[in-house]
Chain A
């Protein structure tokens, strides 16, 4: 995703007229080539997609079980009234919240640190 392989002229390329990108920073090309930028983008992109896929698997797994294996969802947990499906549903909710927490924790520490290092290295 760091995309410096496409041989573009980077930020110096004239953008289409009347876009917000018209105010192009001449440093773009330099930023893209810094190792800090490449690392930040690679790490964050990978992390974001891994968490996205986890969320999709858990949610559509839950929906899939409801659609294909209703009897499993009806199994009683610990001899009580609450069913396995109910626990799974609550789990999906907690899982979604936990994933966002994990992302934010990682972003607040690792990604922000990389981002700061990048800003220092390009002199900002």
Chain B
């Protein structure tokens, strides 16, 4: 697995996309048991279980379970959205990338951020006005319930599955490193806790776990970046100058390196990151937890600010790692005669830059704190994913497709809880099975499917009158199959996993091709669809349009 970290070849692009959620930490050796970190993590677990208990008592209706009763404020929702996005690995992975190659880390930071304005301008308010619990509610608003719920649920479950596997494997390895716990224990702890949060506390617990973690992570990262800047008199220029002197690549770290050597690959990565954000089911669900479109809009604004701030912090932390750790042999595995490679021999690998820096600027207790925050981050993100998956099973597949609307709210919520348990167990099992597999491509794949299946179906059903059930179904399927197919035929799977000599699909990121393919298919099939049903669906656009634009008739706040 180390090959993924070697060199800034194109392969790294996918690998690094994966850092945003699940770092490929390479061969990990178990560290000594880290008691301060375990203590602080236990405190977090007790606190969040307390919140889950309280949330469980207040969770009675389906609206409570799926959407926290619609009573989350814009500020809280912004923290939760930011929390869903600031995964442990985005923190560790991007600061590690900045450490090894400087400027190139910024390419990821910007790519992950710029999807948010698009979500705000085109999706957020309309989603809130039209939806109830899942984005399939919106996509199927005027289209055929069965077909659209199935394609949306499949898109959701595929995204959740790949994202979750990457997170579980990343979590296991990270915890091995940070806490000195065996891999399997780590995966089981994460799986069991996420089941408890989701099954008992629903969206309320999931949101508050995410909010607490977001505050801890932002606080910890701010402290670290502040401590680094303090050492340089709050003059970034001095930090950069000092970094350039100690980094083996010298001044080259201030300029683009090899990360984006192929323009097509770079643009495809950008498309996947940007529009994938607008199709991630666990993020889209958050727009149903606020009371109205105004709150949805404000939450994206605040979240964009928080996420942007966070990425600037990771950039400073990465440079702090260069300036403060590179000349200190105590952070490296020393070779014979005390020599070490600054880029490869960091203890725990370069993904541990932020963790080692925590020790350098704040001592062992701050190190424990940052380790505990990293664990908490993984937990919060997997809980959100599990809830999104469980909702797709119970609300979309069961209630609308299998029971055809003839079910009770209580029954549906119970089924959602059972689904959360099943998803959790499957995730633990897959995390275990994939321990030594290459999972770095899976987050990239999750983003590609979100951009190529979920986003086109959602955007076209909201924005284009002409969209019909057949068009959306065909386009969603084409997007899903082409995104998965292109990744399977790309280097990450075809060559690395299957051992073939050369990839059939030349790029690591399919979104530039698979997303337009989905849009064109929706357009073409819808245009050719002359059935009476299609005419009815086009006619029903008017009612949907009024509601999406004005909120008249929207499902209001459920808070009681």
Query: What residues of chain A have their CB less than 8 Å away from a CB belonging to chain B?
Result: 3, 6, 8-11, 13-16, 18-21, 23-25, 28-29, 31-32, 37, 40-41, 44, 48-49, 51-52, 55-56, 59-60, 62-64, 66-68, 70, 73-74, 80-83, 85-86, 89-90, 92-94, 96-97, 99-101, 103-104, 107-108, 112, 115, 118-119, 122, 124
Contacts and interface: CB of A to CB of B under 8 A. Distances in A.
Contacts, number: 210
B344 interface: no
Of the listed residues A18, A21, A85, A86, the one surrounded by the most CB atoms of chain B closer than 10 A to its CB is: A21
B542 A11 contact: yes
Given A32-B542, A67-B266, A70-B255, A20 B137 contact: yes
A41 B254 contact: no
A66 B260 contact: yes
A10 B274 CA distance: 35
Q: Secondary structure of the B side of the interface? A: helix
A89 B120 contact: no
B546 interface: yes
B118 interface: yes
B122 A62 contact: no
Contact of B542 (A8, A52, A99): A8
Contacts of B270: 59-60, 63
Interface stretch (B44-52, B237-245, B334-342, B410-418): B237-245
Contacts of B118: 52, 55-56
A82 B254 contact: yes
Contact of B237 (A62, A82, A97): A82
Contacts of A92: 110, 113-114
Contact of A3 (B130, B274, B404, B465): B465
A10 B536 CA distance: 11
Contacts of B363: none
Given A21-B142, A32-B546, A40-B549, A81 B254 contact: yes
8 contacts: A9-B539, A15-B543, A25-B546, A63-B107, A63-B111, A68-B263, A89-B107, A96-B116
Given A51-B117, A62-B110, A107 B297 contact: yes
Interface in B387-433: 400, 404-405
Of the listed residues A3, A16, A32, A104, the one surrounded by the most CB atoms of chain B closer than 10 A to its CB is: A16
A21 B141 contact: yes
Interface residues of B, number: 72
Nearest to A17: B145
B240 A80 contact: yes
Given A19-B141, A70-B256, A108-B294, 8 more contacts: A16-B540, A21-B142, A40-B549, A41-B549, A49-B121, A63-B107, A83-B103, A89-B106
A97 B254 contact: no
A56 to B, nearest CB: 8
A23 B111 CA distance: 41
B311 interface: yes
B537 A16 contact: yes
A55 B538 CA distance: 31
Contact of A11 (B107, B240, B538, B546): B546
A16 B143 contact: yes
Interface of B: 103, 106-107, 109-111, 113-114, 116-118, 120-122, 125, 130, 132, 137, 140-145, 236-237, 240-241, 244, 251, 254-256, 260-263, 266-267, 270, 274, 294, 297-298, 300-301, 304-305, 308, 311-312, 400, 404-405, 465, 533, 536-546, 549-553
A31 B141 contact: no
A32 B550 CA distance: 11
A11 B300 CA distance: 31
Contacts of B117: 51-52, 55, 96, 99-100, 103
Nearest to B241: A81
Contacts of A23: 553
A73 B120 contact: no
A20 to B, nearest CB: 5
A115 B274 CA distance: 30
A104 B266 CA distance: 30
B103 A37 contact: no
Contacts of B132: 20
Across the A-B interface, the 6 shortest Cβ-Cβ residue pairs = A74-B255, A13-B539, A67-B263, A89-B106, A15-B540, A48-B121
B260 A86 contact: no
B122 A52 contact: yes
Contacts of B308: 93-94, 96-97
A21 B544 contact: yes
A37 B550 CA distance: 8
Nearest to A20: B141
A64 B107 CA distance: 11
Contacts of A11: 542-543, 546
Contacts of A107: 125, 294, 297
Given A51-B117, A103-B120, A89 B536 contact: no
A108 B533 CA distance: 38
Contacts of B274: 59
Contacts of B120: 100, 103-104
A115 B312 contact: no
Contacts of B298: 104
A39 to B, nearest CB: 11
Contacts of B537: 15-16
B110 A89 contact: yes
Contacts of A13: 536, 539-540, 542
Contacts of A108: 294
Contacts of B551: 115
Nearest to A118: B550
Contacts of A37: 546, 549-550
A57 to B, nearest CB: 11
Contact of B404 (A18, A115, A118): A18
A59 B114 contact: yes
